[in-house]
Amino acid sequence: MTSKFLRFFLAVAVLVTISALAQTGSAAAPTGAAAAPSTPPAAAPAITGTKVGAINIEGAIFGSNEGRRDIEALSKKFEPKNTELKSQNEELDGLKKQLSTQQDKLSEDALADLKKRIESKQKVFDRSVQDAQEEFGSGQQEIASRILQKMAPMIVKYAQDNGFGMIIDTSKPWPQSPVLMAGEGLDITKPVVDIYNTQSGVAAPAPTGAAAKPAAPRPATGTAPKPAAPKTNEAPK
């Protein structure tokens, strides 16, 4: 699960969730002679303001107390996997150094066996890194989806209460996003996070330093290809 995919997921989720909340009108009345009269449900208030605001949705989610708490718990869960990946990488590093320093001294059979061991362990390591990326990303997505469902109504209400007619998401930098720039005066991320923290009742996590993520150490250069470092969205602290 890459940061790009997480941001795409968030963009779609925000569009669907907030658009639904901000829509006006009521549900269609049942048709037909047998339809029983009913009271139309109250419509969500319309967005009628004229101000433009900006919010970093990704930053708001993972910068909230709940988001920070849950991403730290997810990172803690991955500490054994990090240790395992580090051990695998150190073993690969040792084999590659052996190949680099002894390849001229080894017999053809010994050299071929060493290269085969490196290739085999490299494949296992790369697969382990990929699995860790995907599992960590899946956990991030679950956290983001759960928090966004509760945060989106607060964003809509904040916009309505403060005269905003448009809120842009600045989670992605230009040119990945159509937003070239947005001044700090437009940003509503902090007040939304403050409101969310108050209503969620989740206390700020105690400082524990940088949260660990499933990242594999880069092995020294050698004949086998290097594993790609896991790409997980970095949670704001």
- Note every long-range contact of 116-121, with CB atoms under 8 Å and residues 24 or more positions apart, other chains counting: 118/92, 118/222, 118/223, 118/224, 119/224, 121/88, 121/91, 121/92, 121/95
Model pTM above 0.85: no
- Tens of pLDDT along the chain (237 residues)? 445 545 545 555 555 555 555 554 334 444 444 444 455 544 555 677 789 999 999 999 999 999 999 999 999 999 999 999 999 999 999 999 999 999 889 999 999 999 999 999 999 999 999 999 999 999 999 999 999 999 999 999 999 999 999 999 998 888 887 888 888 889 999 999 999 999 999 999 887 654 444 444 444 444 433 434 434 344 343
The pLDDT of residue 164 = 94
Burial of 133 (0-12, 13-18, 19+ CB in 10 A): buried
The pLDDT of residue 29 = 41
The pLDDT of residue 31 = 44
The pLDDT of residue 209 = 54
Provide the residue ranges of all domains of the chain, joining segments of one domain with +.
Answer: 3-17+46-200
The pLDDT of residue 72 = 95
The pLDDT of residue 26 = 38
The pLDDT of residue 183 = 83
The pLDDT of residue 143 = 96
